Amino acid sequence: MAWVNENFAALEDSYLFSQVAHKVADFSAAHPEKKIIRLGIGDVTLPLVPVVVEAMQKAAAEMGVKETFRGYGPEQGYEFLHEALVKYYVGFGVTLESSEIFISDGAKSDCGNITDIFDDANVILVPDPVYPVYLDTNIMRGRKIVFMEGSPENGFLPMPDPAVKADIIYLCSPNNPTGAAYSKAQLKEWVAYARQNGAVILYDAAYEAFIEDEALPRSIFQIEGAKECAIELCSLSKTAGFTGTRCGYTVVPLALKRKTKNGKAMSLNKMWLRRQTTKFNGVPYIVQRAAEAVFTPEGQKQCRENLAYYKENARLIGAALQEKGITYYGGTNSPYIWMQCPRQMKSWEFFDFLLEKLGIVGTPGSGFGSSGEGWFRLTAFAGREATEEAAERFRKLL
């Protein structure tokens, strides 16, 4: 008899974005005449930028020639991409060794996979509301999870509570779903807390490229002492439109050490390398060449143009909400707009209202945690025309 992992029984029936997709599919089937505007899942709509496409084409051609064909690559990624990332981090004033960088098929996978290197007895501290993957992947391991509440009072940026003892801390900045971003001073407090408690911060920086305020940190490693207590997860999905191309990177500093329950000192970098070389065969060469192109000066210029397009979308939505006197967060250093549901509606109630009355899809705040109840997330990733129309519908009907 094969027993299955009973922790799965503790999960919600389906992953948040699948649940939204099913509801929208049912609605579309029932009302094929309605034009639906999708501001739900944060999926990009602009195509890959030209330098990325050229790099992919060149790499694909290399794969078709005996002399330049590549089979298995290094599981942790090719050196050319490590070097590009080392330079990218220098731009934030952060010095990394290339062996501290691990290339993957995206931050979502790494977020889940990183749970492998930690003991299940750890207490996990998760912000609420937050990206559901942190919670669900730890429920799958049967771990004890404690929540820290995000609210308008703390600007949706929970800070350490000395009374709460946690071993693994998830931080996401700029935050998904609220768009709020930690300042350097706030991250300094988190680093101090983690060091004091021997905890490890899993810092999700997937939206760092949206930061426009130069005073805000783009990486947790801009904070002194973070290399002894943090792992950073990053992605090209939103930065460079790689949601369908799949490439991300995780930084595990060489200085990050913790002990096993029996007191054996371990390097987390070595553990992650061991985990990846055992369970992962690396990202395709073609995709890594495409990622390398993102970090060239021309790639950065072209990607920034796309980011500016999405930021303008965020501004358009924000302006419409502001006109209607609706409170919202985010939309400046982030592609997400976190709005309060009007007329004290609950999140799913507002989801149905918005879909049925305005033909707009968003993501219910309560899907990101109980503190998200009464809130709602809109994304800036739709096309311009659809975004303008959504803003217009908000103006007329909300």
CA distance 317 to 340: 14
Using CB atoms, what's the residue nearest to ligand MLT? 42
Q: How far is the CB of 110 from ligand MLT (least distance, A)?
A: 11
Q: Which residue's CB is nearer to ligand MLT, number 44 or number 226?
A: 44
Quote the least distance from Cβ 12 to ligand MLT, whole Å: 15
* Pair 113, 102: CB distance under 8 Å: no
Nearest to 236 by CA among 307, 329, 138: 307
Point out which residues pair with 339 in neighbouring strands.
328, 376
Q: How many other C-beta atoms lie within 10 A of the C-beta of residue 244?
A: 9
Nearer to ligand MLT by Cβ, of 177 and 217: the residue is 177
Tokens, residue 173: 């900045």
Q: How far is the CB of 19 from ligand MLT (least distance, A)?
A: 13
To ligand MLT, the closest distance from the beta carbon of 377 in angstroms equals: 8
Please say whether the beta carbons of 241 and 47 come within 8 A.
Answer: yes
Calculate the dihedral angle through the C-alpha atoms of 289, 290, 294, 298, rounding to the nearest 10 degrees. 90
CB of 36 to ligand MLT, least distance (A): 17
Distance in Å, CB of 361 to ligand MLT, minimum: 11
Binding residues for ligand MLT (CB under 6 A): 41-43, 108, 131, 176, 237
Strand 257-259 with 328-330, pairing = unpaired
Nearest residue (CB) to ligand MLT, 42 versus 127: 42
Backbone phi, psi, residue 321, to 5°: -65, -40
Nearer to ligand MLT, 131 or 394 (CB): 131
- Three-state DSSP at 169 gives strand
308 close to 66: Cβ distance less than 8 angstroms: no
Decide whether 42 or 331 has the Cβ nearer to ligand MLT: 42
Strand partners, 200: 168
Pick between residue 194 and residue 291 the one whose CB is nearest to ligand MLT: 291
CA 265 to chain CA centroid, nearest Å: 30
Instruction: Quickly tell me which residue has 């904070």 as its tokens.
Output: 223
Minimum CB distance to ligand MLT smaller for 108 or for 227: 108
Q: Closest separation between CB of residue 7 and ligand MLT, Å?
A: 21
At residue 313's C-alpha, the angle toward residues 172 and 177, to 5°, is 20
Continuous segment of H or E residues that includes residue 310? helix 297-323
Which is closer to ligand MLT, CB of 14 or CB of 68? 14
Please state the closest distance from residue 6 (CB atom) to ligand MLT, in A. Answer: 26
Cα 278 from Cα 246, distance rounded (Å): 20
- In the chain, the amino acid numbered 116 is D
